[in-house]
Structure 1
Amino acid sequence: MALSTRFFQYALQTGVSRFWARNARNAAKQDLATLRNQRRRARALRQHLDTVISVAESRLALPIIGSNAFPKPHGTDWSWRPELWREPIPTKGRAAVENKEMLGDEVTLFHDCRISELTLRQLRNHREKDLAPFGLRMDVFRFDGSFLSLVVDMPPEAVSGLRRDHVVRMDTIVEMEKPLEIFARLNIRHGPNTEQIVRELPLKAEDIRVEFDLAYSNLNEKRVEKMWIDLIFEGPEMNQIVLRDVTFSRRLRADF
């Protein structure tokens, strides 16, 4: 915006503000016809001002888009919130989601249903306690398959310098219409092999968190190529599952 235009807008806003300040001071002694006209104009102006204030307070109270802020354990050397929970994606949702269909660039849904009655949708988080700007809602209606999983591909930084004395942690916030079991399976490809570690999410705990201690794996540190996680949903039929946040961090395990 040109400097002259900004100056003009500032001068106009200042003049309008002074105009209404003067009317407010003189309202008690103003003639009734003029006061009636001023009331009509003030009500029309107040409607626009109330709208600006309401929208501004709502938007400013939301988690900031692009935020990668979340609590991390001491000694964290890598942390990450996937794009779907961090940024608005071009396609907000998909219905009748097919096997291996993606939402964004990092999240893929896997299932073996003959007829898909699954939907995925990115939604904006509005709750005061939410740190993630966005969440992911999955609606499952009739389910005639034997498995349903959501795969999150991690970036190359996740495996850069990865060692067997690392602990990988996943934190999430989950909402469900009815109880079900969710398992998290960490997958690390190293050469021709893939190391897998499975943990059940403690959905009744206040902090839904799982840790994968690589000391108990057969990881070949010199051949690590890729890491991803499967979220496996057991008995998902006729349920709505909302993942309000999903974050990952990595730290070296303590020496004893």
Structure 2
Amino acid sequence: MGRKTEGVMNALLHARVLRRWTRAARKAGAAELQVLRVQRQQARELSARLNELIYLADGRLAMPRIGSKAFARPAGTLWSWRPQLWRGPLPQKGMTAVAARTTLGDEVTLFHDCKVSELTLRQLRNTREEDLAPFGLRLDVFRFDGSFLSLALDMPPEAVEGMTRRQILRVSAVLEIEKPLEIFARLNINHGPNTEQMVQELPRNRGEAIVEFDLAYCDLNEKRIEKAWLDLIFEGPEMNQITLRDVTVCRYPRAEL
């Protein structure tokens, strides 16, 4: 049976069942008690299954669609990106005692210099109404004997195509932090033998944190730009839980002065 034929049959069956219960409801006031008792039991069993379906469907349909690239962009945006970790499921959902230089998918790498790793990572499904990214990343830090902890995000080649000093690169992160923590975003742009770096601290307010890198303030050789990457640096992360619900990057023209 073809999919179209099956769809027509299901629609006809649904219409028939709906007509049956519509008639039963209209006649309930005058129906014999024995008949009404049977219909009430059948209706309760059907209602339980329908409520279960509605509950699960509401939950799934409220989640951001897997693979979604939807997020707010400034007017005139030339390029935008949400790393794959926040778009789709990873083969390995969680890790404990995470080693230095652990890769998460093809674009994200965790760096630290702990002698004994007491770090755990877990990719989670975003389910909040305000979430736009399908997935998030949760980092639990217990005892921390290292001097640095960071996530490196390798931007795709399209990130630097047409990049000039007359543009702004904006980074947005949706954060949940168990206790106050300093987080810095460092933009790295490789051009020829040199790497230009710009650092900004992410605002500490709960929710979306946005920083903008004005490329006019860096010594950038536009003709030799090769690649770019972003570091998210966590200062003093010991005994903390950090949840990155979303990370997005976009590039757009700066206003001419």
- TM-score, normalising length: structure 2: 0.93
Matches within 5 A, 1:40-79: 40-79=41-80
Structure-1 residue corresponding to 2:189: 188
Native 8 Å contact 1:109 1:150 kept in 2: yes
Distance 2:69 2:16 in 1: 42
Distance 1:60 1:207 in 2: 23
Native 8 Å contact 2:174 2:207 kept in 1: no
Q: Identity of counterpart residues, as a percentage?
A: 61
Distance 1:73 1:19 in 2: 54
Q: Secondary structure at the match of 2:17?
A: helix
Q: Secondary structure at the match of 1:76?
A: coil
Change (3 A) 1:205 1:238: closer
Distance 1:90 1:18 in 2: 47
Distance 1:90 1:232 in 2: 25
Deviations 1:203-240 (A, max 9, x none): 13775111112222222211111111010101101100
Matches within 5 A, 1:1-12: 1-12=2-13
Q: Which amino acid aligns with 1:136?
A: L
How many Å apart are 1:173 and its aligned residue?
1.3
Native 8 Å contact 2:176 2:207 kept in 1: no
Native 8 Å contact 1:108 1:150 kept in 2: yes
Structure-1 residue corresponding to 2:32: 31
Please list every run of 5 or more consecutive structure 2 residues that lacks an aligned counterpart in the other structure: none
Matches within 5 A, 1:56-205: 56-204=57-205
Distance 2:48 2:8 in 1: 26
Distance 1:163 1:4 in 2: 56
Distance 2:46 2:176 in 1: 41
Deviations 1:44-64 (A, max 9, x none): 111110011112222222223
CA RMSD of aligned residues (A): 1.7
Distance 2:253 2:6 in 1: 56
Q: Secondary structure at the match of 2:37?
A: helix
Deviations 1:67-107 (A, max 9, x none): 22222223321111111122223322222211111122211
User: Matched residue pairs, number?
Assistant: 256
Distance 2:250 2:138 in 1: 23
Change (3 A) 1:206 1:93: closer
